[in-house]
């Protein structure tokens, strides 16, 4: 449910609290840049260099454009005098991380630099609609919780967030549900012989680990070999991690390979009861993953399994005889779905 409400005095104070630092920030930045150029670039001819000057102007327009947009958003919210109140149950959560790298050149000065910046955006889905939210609130919310949230329309500031108690069961039913959960979690794990799909899932898990080991093994190994071939092996004394990293990756690979063969010979999986506590999506530069928090820890699952699991579900995680790899999951509907 979404409704339109007028801003109260506390909301206005909160928006002004965000507005003041936004106005002061560019003033501080201008002072810092002026001091920097006056001290370090005064005699370098930076301002006579057209490329450097164009870069400075372009950066200033971009930077102050963002600041002006932020100030405009807060000002519009204060002037409009209303907010939105959203109520409902959280059905999903998502964290999006984006890292960008920029390269700058100093023109005639010959200086260049590389800068990287990382931004994080947090979202919750309520009644099928996704809303952005601040980090301080994101960590406190779980899928399945019923919340009431008030947000400003333009600047998108969370003015109020309340987590409401879900419909409580009578004491007798609540005690029965708790006993049922404890009984389920304490039940004896089941050992089930492998089928063809289990062997395929086990191999996929091993190949994914082997690929990761290869990525970490090749670059330092190639650098070390190039130093030896060119007669510069003395540098390996100072760059000793170039030798340690490949050695460590080889040791990990041999250990994982022995474990893989052992699990093939044992040819059974162990079903461990657990309960779903939360779930969320994560993406880094567009590449996403699905995380499900259980009473045994957090596991990564595919889209199909993620969509079928809900908080409170009693599920069974199947692992091979050795190691921590999750092969498959039996859902609350008694359907077995493979993770990989």
Under a CB-based contact definition with an 8 Å cutoff, are residues 117 and 48 in contact? no
pLDDT of residue 36: 62
**Which residue reads 């509907």 in tokens?**
333
Tell me which of 20-29, 104-113, 204-213 is least confident. 104-113
User: For residues 330 and 272, what is the distance between their CA atoms, to the nearest angstrom?
Assistant: 10
pLDDT tier, 201 (very low <50, low <70, confident <90, very high otherwise): very high
Question: What is the average per-residue pLDDT within 218-227?
Answer: 87
Ramachandran angles phi, psi of 124, nearest 5°? -130, 145
Structure confidence at residue 139 (pLDDT): 87
pLDDT at 204 over 90: yes
- Residues 97 and 137: their CA atoms lie apart, in Å, by 17
Q: Which H, E and C letters describe 97-154, residue by residue?
A: EEEEEEEEECHHHCCEEEEEEEEEEEEEEECCEEEEECHHHHCCCCCCCEEEEEECCC
Residue 115 or residue 93, greater confidence:
93
Q: Which of 87-101, 134-148, 153-167, 289-303 is predicted least confidently?
A: 153-167
| pLDDT-above-90 percentage for the chain | 43
pLDDT confidence tier of residue 231, bands split at 50, 70 and 90: confident
By the 10 Å C-beta count (0-12 exposed, 13-18 middle, 19+ buried), 70 is classed as middle
Lowest mean pLDDT among 48-62, 66-80, 135-149, 261-275: 48-62
pLDDT value for 127: 87
- Band of pLDDT at residue 22, cut at 50, 70 and 90: low
Higher pLDDT, 240 or 33: 240
| 266 Cβ contact partners less than 8 Å away, ≥ 6 residues apart | 320, 321, 322
| pLDDT value at 270 more than 60 | yes
31 pLDDT tier (thresholds 50, 70, 90):
low
Question: Picking from 81-85, 168-172, 242-246, which range would have the lowest pLDDT averaged per residue?
Answer: 168-172
pLDDT at 322: 92
84: its two tokens: 């939105």
Cα 174 to Cα 216: distance, rounded to the nearest angstrom: 50
Task: Choose the most confident range, by mean pLDDT, from 36-40, 176-180, 248-252.
Answer: 248-252
In the predicted model, is pLDDT for residue 306 greater than 80? yes
Q: Are 335 and 304 in contact (CB under 8 A)?
A: no
Q: Are 246 and 220 a contacting pair, CB within 8 Å?
A: yes
């Amino acid at each position: 449910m979404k409704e339109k409400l007028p801003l109260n005095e506390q909301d206005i104070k909160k928006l002004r609290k965000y507005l003041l630092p936004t106005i002061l920030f560019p003033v501080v930045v201008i002072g810092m840049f002026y001091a920097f150029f006056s001290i370090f670039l005064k005699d370098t001819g930076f301002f006579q260099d057209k490329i450097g000057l164009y870069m400075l102007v372009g950066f200033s327009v971009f930077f102050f454009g963002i600041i002006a947009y932020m100030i405009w958003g807060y000002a519009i919210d204060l002037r409009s005098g209303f907010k939105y109140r959203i109520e409902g149950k959280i059905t999903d959560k998502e964290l999006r991380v984006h890292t960008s790298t920029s390269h700058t050149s100093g023109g005639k000065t010959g200086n260049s630099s590389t800068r990287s910046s990382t931004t994080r955006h947090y979202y919750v889905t309520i009644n099928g609609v996704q809303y952005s939210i601040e980090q301080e609130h994101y960590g406190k919310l779980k899928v399945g919780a019923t919340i009431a949230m008030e947000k400003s329309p333009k600047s998108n500031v969370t003015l109020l967030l309340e987590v409401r108690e879900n419909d409580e069961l009578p004491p007798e039913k609540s005690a029965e549900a708790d006993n049922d959960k404890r009984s389920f979690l304490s039940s004896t794990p089941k050992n089930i012989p492998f089928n063809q799909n289990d062997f395929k899932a086990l191999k996929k898990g091993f190949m994914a680990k082997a690929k990761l080991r290869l990525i970490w093994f090749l670059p330092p190994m190639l650098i070390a070999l190039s130093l030896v071939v060119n007669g510069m092996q003395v540098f390996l004394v100072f760059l000793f991690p170039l030798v340690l990293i490949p050695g460590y990756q080889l040791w990990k690979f041999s250990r994982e390979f022995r474990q893989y063969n052992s699990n093939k010979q044992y040819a059974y999986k162990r079903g461990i009861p657990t309960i779903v506590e939360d779930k969320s999506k994560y993406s880094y530069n567009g590449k996403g993953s699905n995380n499900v928090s259980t009473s045994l820890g957090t596991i990564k699952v595919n889209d199909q399994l993620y969509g079928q699991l809900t908080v409170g579900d009693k599920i069974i995680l199947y692992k091979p005889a050795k190691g921590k790899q999750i092969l498959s999951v039996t859902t609350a509907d008694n359907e077995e779905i493979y993770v990989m």
